[in-house]
Amino acid sequence: MPEKFDAFVPLNMCVLTVSDTRTNENDTSGQKLVDCLTAAGHKLHDRTLVKDDVYHIRAVVSQWIYDGAAQVVLITGGTGFAGRDSTPEAMHPLLDKEVTGFGELFRQVSYDEIGTSTIQSRAFAGFANKTLIFCLPGSTGACSTAWNKIIEEQVNSLTRPCNFVGQLVANK
């Protein structure tokens, strides 16, 4: 059974924006995730932006999961069906286990906001080398929804009956 904590445990998180059009100056989705994670008491370990390219995405994330200090990776962008959307193709081979419930729940809670358009999201999550990875759509609204309705509670050591923190802290 995962460890239960009596106090909040801040986690080291990385944010990766996958985009062919955004820059560091106009990356509102990445900034939203940084703002959310720091407001919740977590630490920004690293942040970067890469073009939507399978090998660029894998290179950055592989370094973070190899590093060992990063406990959570938040990726925004590249999860749709446009020609260059390649985050799922980049990340699935790296995963040791998929958190299938995340994508299902994300699409369920998104339905209230965007209706049936939610089926066009390939959002998913999983573990790679004991690092929890969330792959989110590139819209700022989708990042807010994912953080506020799912991720924040699951990376909070005080959430009951269970959360992912015990998996992340015990295994690093």
Can you give the pLDDT at residue 80?
78
12-170: CATH topology = Molybdenum Cofactor Biosythetic Enzyme; Chain A (3.40.980)
13 backbone dihedrals φ, ψ, rounded to 5°:
-125, 145
78-137 confidence digits (pLDDT tens): 887 887 889 999 999 999 999 999 999 999 999 999 999 999 999 999 999 999 999 999
pLDDT digits (tens, 9 = 90+) for 37-91: 999 999 999 999 999 999 999 999 999 999 889 999 999 998 878 878 899 999 9
pTM to 2 decimals?
Answer: 0.95
The ranges assigned to domains in the chain are: 12-170
